[in-house]
């Protein structure tokens, strides 16, 4: 072995040891401690827990901003060995280092502590239907992100800096173009559907199915098992909001919630988070200790969640299987037949709550949040104006207006949790899910046929091989290019929606 090769191996071993420590802290803070906070922690534990989370955040900051890391990064930049895992690890570290080192340590520590407290205040504010309880915390959070945008830098719009944190290279300009195309199409299709429904003598789509939470949990477990979720490497819990947290591919924790008055909420939460759980469980374990044993991006992860929730979950084949399971679990006859259940879960009806929105109008919920965030960061509106702006946009886009903050601006935890710039990932996810599906069908066959014949393993296998296993080795744009051979396009999603709703509503 040459001296150069020996040095390369030694430097790589030393770097990986440092990376392991970063990974342990990151998973400990973002997965284990956070999971316990939202599922098990008693309310009175928040004050001390916030201090603990602040400490771990500070330690993580120290590791990520360690001056020695820059020496390693500089070395490997100048000594590439055509190893995509090492190259990916270096790129990931440079990106992490860039975002962290630009923020002064004191501000980063304050931010971590602020978020920990704000999430708890959000729960109370939502319960009491009082936005003013959260407002002072949210004002501080927005101010932090305005500062972060300046620290991180941008070319055209300060909001680009926040979007880029989650989806590298994506800009306001690109999303504005895609959103215009989709908004125009959705509004036109929505008007056609409304006209069709108005002519029906009897609307069979109004039914809902109540079910005890205990039985809904049984149903959620059945859904997860059906699509391939491994309960020996994961678990299911209830929490304040649905999410999926992974400590490793062998420890993936799904958090969900149920609505005992309407079983659909629990079903589609399970499908969405279950899809993301499959992604996390399928990541190559050899990537542990490289910072690449993660999803490629939040948008790609959401794409898998939306694919399972909507393209699979709302299909005729899957809805029929769910209906049979509901018949087993229900203590009384269901108020609708299998065909009506399929129509029911695909009903298009503007709603106030994003997570309960129908598939077609969901994008309008995201566009509203995207526009509000953009306006906040660009000083077009203030935090104090949020309830009014929120209500106005819902009236304009969806034709409905919330009576309470609980149903309006307080419904999502994202802003209290510091997820500014994240909502565009939901937007991009729907587009990518349709592109992935189109490619899958060209290689494996009709997804409707696979679902109807119970071949969920074939779907899972294709996604695992083409998306999941590579973890974060590739960026969002690289994933799209590798799978589809082109750039992100609204064409496939528009085509999917058009075919689906023309069939459901006989347009």
Task: Report the top-level CATH class of 172-504.
Answer: mainly alpha
What is the percent of the chain where pLDDT is above 70?
98
Give the model's pLDDT for residue 273. 98
Beta bridge partners of 248: 251
Task: Give the torsion sign (CA, 352, 227, 293, 288).
Answer: positive
The predicted-structure confidence for 263-281, as pLDDT tens digits, reads as follows 998 999 999 999 999 999 9
* Residue list for the binding site: 272, 302
Please state, in angstroms and rounded to a whole number, the distance separating the CA atoms of residues 433 and 171.
Answer: 20
Please state, in angstroms and rounded to a whole number, the distance separating the CA atoms of residues 151 and 143.
Answer: 12
Q: Which of 23, 273, 359, 407 is catalytic?
A: 273
* 273 carries an active-site annotation: yes
Task: Give the torsion sign (CA, 468, 472, 475, 478).
Answer: negative
When pLDDT is cut at 50, 70 and 90, the band that residue 165 belongs to is very high
Give the model's pLDDT for residue 475. 84
The predicted-structure confidence for 391-447, as pLDDT tens digits, reads as follows 999 999 998 999 999 999 999 999 999 999 999 999 999 999 999 999 999 999 999
Q: Which letter, b or e, does each residue of 356-389 get, where b requires 16 or more Cβ atoms within 10 Å of its Cβ? A: ebbbbbbbbbbbbbbbbbbbbbeeebebeebbeb
User: Which of helix, strand or coil describes residue 147?
Assistant: helix
pTM greater than the 0.75 cutoff: yes
Biggest CA pair distance of the chain: 83
The predicted-structure confidence for 423-433, as pLDDT tens digits, reads as follows 999 999 999 99
- Alpha-carbon distances, residue 448 vs 114, 135, 164, 456 (angstroms): 46, 46, 35, 11
List the one residue out of 190, 184, 179 whose CA is nearest residue 348.
Answer: 190
When pLDDT is cut at 50, 70 and 90, the band that residue 383 belongs to is very high
Give the model's pLDDT for residue 332. 83
Beta bridge partners of 253: 235, 245
Please state, in angstroms and rounded to a whole number, the distance separating the CA atoms of residues 185 and 261.
Answer: 32
Greater model confidence, 200 or 290:
290
- Residues recorded for the chain: 507
Which structure tokens are listed for 251?
């420890």
pLDDT at 199 over 60: yes
Give the model's pLDDT for residue 93. 87
Which structure tokens are listed for 356?
């309960």
251-256/234-238 β-pairing:
parallel
Give the model's pLDDT for residue 170. 87
* Residue list for the binding site for Zn(2+): 272, 302
Beta bridge partners of 251: 248
pLDDT at 478 over 90: no
Report the mean per-residue pLDDT for the chain.
91
User: What is the domain partition of the chain in residue ranges?
Assistant: 3-154, 172-504
Kind and range of the H or E run holding 388 = helix 386-398
Q: Is 289 left (phi over 0), alpha (psi -120 to 50) or beta?
A: left
Residue 186 main-chain phi, psi, to 5 deg: -65, -45
Q: Please compute the mean of the pLDDT values over residues 39-60 and round it to a whole number.
A: 85
Which structure tokens are listed for 191?
């008007």
Judge whether 18 and 63 are in contact, CB under 8 Å.
yes
Judge whether 207 and 338 are in contact, CB under 8 Å.
no
The predicted-structure confidence for 9-43, as pLDDT tens digits, reads as follows 999 999 999 888 888 888 887 788 888 888 888 88
List the one residue out of 272, 227, 278 whose CA is nearest residue 252.
Answer: 278
- Alpha-carbon distances, residue 40 vs 6, 32, 36, 45, 118 (angstroms): 48, 11, 5, 10, 18
């Amino acid at each position: 072995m040459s001296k150069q090769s020996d040095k390369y191996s030694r430097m790589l071993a030393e770097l990986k040891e440092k990376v392991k420590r970063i990974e342990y802290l990151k998973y400990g803070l973002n997965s284990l401690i956070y999971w316990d906070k939202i599922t098990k922690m008693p309310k009175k534990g928040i004050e001390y827990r916030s201090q603990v989370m602040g400490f771990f955040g500070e330690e993580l900051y120290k590791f990520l901003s360690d001056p020695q890391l820059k020496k390693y990064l500089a070395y490997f930049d100048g000594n590439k060995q055509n190893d995509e895992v090492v190259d990916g690890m270096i790129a990931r570290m440079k990106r992490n280092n860039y975002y962290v080192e630009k923020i002064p340590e004191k501000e980063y520590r304050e931010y971590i502590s602020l978020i920990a407290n704000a999430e708890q205040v959000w729960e109370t504010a939502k319960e009491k239907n009082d936005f003013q309880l959260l407002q002072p915390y949210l004002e501080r959070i927005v101010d932090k992100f305005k500062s972060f945008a300046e620290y991180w830098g941008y070319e055209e719009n300060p909001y680009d800096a926040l979007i880029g944190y989650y989806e590298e290279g994506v800009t306001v300009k690109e999303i504005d173009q895609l959103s215009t195309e989709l908004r125009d199409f959705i509004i036109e299709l929505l008007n056609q559907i409304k006209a069709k429904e108005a002519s029906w003598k009897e609307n069979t789509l109004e039914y809902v199915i109540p079910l005890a939470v205990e039985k809904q949990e049984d149903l959620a477990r059945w859904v997860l098992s059906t699509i391939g979720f491994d309960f020996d490497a994961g678990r299911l819990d209830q929490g304040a909001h649905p999410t999926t947290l992974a400590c490793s591919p062998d420890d993936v924790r799904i958090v969900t919630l149920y609505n005992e008055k309407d079983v659909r909420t629990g079903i589609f939460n399970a499908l969405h988070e279950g899809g993301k759980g499959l992604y996390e469980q399928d990541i190559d374990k050899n990537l542990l200790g490289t910072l690449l044993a993660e999803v490629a991006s939040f948008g790609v992860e959401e794409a898998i969640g939306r694919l399972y929730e909507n393209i699979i979950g709302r299909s005729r084949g899957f809805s029929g299987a769910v209906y049979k399971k509901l018949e087993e679990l229900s203590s009384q006859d269901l108020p609708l037949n299998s065909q009506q259940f399929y129509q029911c879960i695909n009903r298009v009806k503007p709603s106030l709550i994003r997570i309960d929105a129908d598939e077609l109008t969901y994008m309008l919920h995201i566009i509203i949040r995207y526009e509000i965030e953009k306006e906040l960061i660009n000083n077009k509106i203030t935090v104090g104006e949020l309830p009014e702006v929120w209500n106005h946009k819902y009236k304009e886009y969806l034709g409905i207006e919330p009576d309470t903050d609980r149903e309006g601006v307080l419904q999502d935890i994202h802003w209290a949790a510091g997820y500014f710039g994240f909502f565009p990932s939901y937007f991009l996810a729907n587009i990518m899910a349709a592109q992935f599906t189109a490619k899958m069908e060209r290689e494996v066959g009709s997804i409707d046929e696979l679902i109807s014949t119970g071949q969920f393993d074939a779907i899972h296998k294709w996604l695992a091989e083409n998306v999941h296993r590579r973890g974060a080795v590739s960026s969002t744009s690289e994933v799209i290019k590798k799978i589809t051979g082109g750039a992100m396009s609204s064409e496939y999603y528009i085509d999917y929606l058009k075919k689906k709703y023309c069939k459901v509503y006989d347009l």
